[in-house]
Amino acid sequence: MNGLSADLVITGGHVITVNPKGETAEAVAVLGDKIVAVGKADEIAPLIGDTTEVIRLNGQTVLPGFIEPHTHFMMYGIWARWVNAKTPPNENIPQLLERIEKKVAETPKGEWITGYGLEEGAFEEKRWPARDELDAVAPDNPLYIRHRSGHASIANSRALALAGLDESTPQTEGGHMDRDPKTGRLTGVLREKAAFNSVQNLIPPSTKDQMKDGIIEAGSLYATAGITSTHDAGADTRPDTYRAYQEAIDEGRLKTRVYLMIRDRPYDHYYMKRDLGLRTGFGNDRLRLGPVKTCTDGSIQVFTCAFYDPYITLESESTRRNPRGVLQMSPSETNDIVLEAHQKGYQVAIHAQGDYGIDVAIDAIQYAMWKHPRPDPRHRIEHCQCVTPEGLTRMQRLGIIGSFYPHHTWYWADRHISTFIGMERASRIDPMKSAINAGVVTIAHSDAPIAGIGDPIFGADPLFGIWCAVNRKTRNGVLLGPEERITPMEGIRAYTINAAYASFEENIKGSIEPGKLADFVVLSENPCEVDPWEIRNVKVERTIIGGETVYQAA
């Protein structure tokens, strides 16, 4: 450094660099927002000057800042202002109705009331609220509550009427309106496109200031979990979306680095009017344009993932009509969307969970790469829940990144076994070890706010995700597919260098090496050395982004 002193030195700890050699160190030095030296404490000591900030650790562990590669970052903050329909705190339907009633009391008549997090299987009653129950507490307000998975919702009568939905409305392809089995009356439960293309379109969109407040709030929460970068898995294709992000960054109020997955087609959208020539990678190290996001299927928890074999529970009208789940669009439509994005230079991220839905996604990527050869597109399959061994082989050959959701092996796995797909198929969900062994670049995510930062039952914290993938135990204590357990270090790589690769940023982040961004998380203990069952209890002591401490535990 030619006699210059560092701006920041972290020393006296255990530095897990995640570099290609898997080296460890004792100290790291930062100049500006970049790492300038990594090594032993006595090697870094000469870089400490009069103005150097020195963080002296007491044997704590330093990792590269966690990269959470699939969350709904902006919506996390926005939905935090909606009615909390999760369990807990709502253990039963009357508790949820009481919460809605309180919201109604402070909302003018006629205005929309929205909620998020409902999970019918978690209620004591093991059912959805009845439409009449919702009408009783919200007679004069349209009411719309999203399922925790995000792939189903329930609406009251006023909301259904505004959307023009009644018993004469035909079922839509790629979705389902549930009906009472005795009367044929709509229950208000809307799955997939039955919700997305009707009631959901009527909810007033968030303003720019609401979006900005949402991302600022989310950034503060993410910092407490050691997350320094995230991939927003579904940014609206609206100008105000980008303005909100850019203003929050310019004002210094958003520190989290964001890679934007764009819903719809940004080159052919009614807001954009024309293709502006932007492509994946446009932007800077604070805000960067990522992939085009699309979906093949839905969610296991609401019976809409697309499988080759039927669900084991077929009592409801929706599962009798769609016993193997649904595709949100035909395979040919998926082919067209992926090919168009691929040809225009975009990375593509495809939500696909069922084995059939995943094969449709792989087919579309293969078709696009055959029609329009292009080096290193790094297309991604998001969630990749029930990928088959044959699918992993194809993914490796095509360079497709597997973005896994290991929380299912803990939070929903018992219901996967008993209600959705049975023990044999459930034991194969999130096969991260098989993916790693097959040579697939393997990353992991929480899909927050489906999981929540600091939630002890369903945590969005990367350490919680690593804990799920390392242990693979259900909430009832079932060891689920033990051959798919990964090591703590493999989990760390999934949330650091591999996640950086997934956004074409492995040369600037994801490991602690000179020249890379000074993004770190300081942990109370080494996740690779504690008992595997204790990984989720390791504390985030400090989060540093670009050499600046953005969170420090009390």
Domain ranges in the chain? 8-59+515-552, 73-202
Full DSSP string of 272-334: T-S-----TT-B-SSEEEEEEEEES---GGGT-S--SSPPS---SHHHHHSTT---SS-HHHH
174 pLDDT more than 90: no
DSSP collapsed to 3 states, 414-456: HHHHHHHCHHHHHCCCCCHHHHHHCCCCEEECCCCCCCECCCC
198 pLDDT more than 90: no
3-class DSSP state for residue 491?
helix
Percent of the chain with pLDDT over 70: 97
3-class DSSP state for residue 69?
strand
Q: Tell me how far apart the alpha carbons of residues 169 and 171 are, in angstroms, rounded to a whole number.
A: 7
Neighbours of 201 (CB within 10 A): 10
Q: What is the largest CA-CA distance in the chain?
A: 82
User: In this predicted structure, what is the pLDDT of residue 193?
Assistant: 85
User: In this predicted structure, what is the pLDDT of residue 319?
Assistant: 77
DSSP symbol at 344: T
Average pLDDT over residues 288-301: 94
Select 73-202's CATH number: 2.160.10.10, 3.40.50.10490, 3.40.50.2300, 3.10.310.70.
3.10.310.70
Average pLDDT over residues 40-63: 96
Mean pLDDT, the chain, whole residue set: 94
Strand pairing report for 257-263 and 287-295: parallel
> Which candidate, 362, 439, 448, places its Cα nearest to that of 411?
448
User: In this predicted structure, what is the pLDDT of residue 267?
Assistant: 64
pLDDT tens, 364-376? 999 999 999 999 9
User: In this predicted structure, what is the pLDDT of residue 552?
Assistant: 97
Q: Tell me how far apart the alpha carbons of residues 40 and 24 are, in angstroms, rounded to a whole number.
A: 9
Cβ-contact 523, 68 below 8 angstroms: no
User: In this predicted structure, what is the pLDDT of residue 235?
Assistant: 79
3-class DSSP state for residue 222?
helix
Of residues 284 and 81, the one with the higher pLDDT is: 284
Bond into 431 cis (ω within 30)? no
Cβ-contact 299, 150 below 8 angstroms: yes
pLDDT tens, 177-196? 999 988 999 999 999 888 87
Cβ-contact 4, 29 below 8 angstroms: no
Q: Tell me how far apart the alpha carbons of residues 124 and 57 are, in angstroms, rounded to a whole number.
A: 47
User: In this predicted structure, what is the pLDDT of residue 3?
Assistant: 65
User: In this predicted structure, what is the pLDDT of residue 277?
Assistant: 73
Which CATH code is given to the segment(s) 8-59+515-552? Answer: 2.30.40.10
pLDDT tens, 401-439? 999 999 999 999 999 999 999 999 999 999 999 999 999
User: In this predicted structure, what is the pLDDT of residue 236?
Assistant: 78
279 pLDDT more than 60: yes
Q: Tell me how far apart the alpha carbons of residues 365 and 439 are, in angstroms, rounded to a whole number.
A: 18
Average pLDDT over residues 214-241: 93
User: In this predicted structure, what is the pLDDT of residue 540?
Assistant: 98
Q: What are phi and psi of 404, to 5 degrees?
A: -95, 160
Q: Which tokens in the block code for residue 318?
A: 């929706």
Same fold, 8-59+515-552 and 73-202: no
Alpha helix ranges (H) inside 150-229:
157-162, 193-196, 208-224
Q: Which positions ≥6 away from 409 have C-beta within 8 Å?
A: 429, 430, 468, 469, 472, 473, 474, 480, 481
Kindly indicate the confidence band of residue 150, based on its pLDDT and cuts at 50, 70 and 90: confident
Q: Tell me how far apart the alpha carbons of residues 389 and 385 are, in angstroms, rounded to a whole number.
A: 12
Cβ-contact 442, 498 below 8 angstroms: yes
Q: Give the predicted TM-score (pTM) of the model.
A: 0.94
pLDDT tens, 516-544? 999 999 999 999 999 999 999 999 999 99
Query: Rg of the chain over CA atoms, in angstroms?
Result: 23
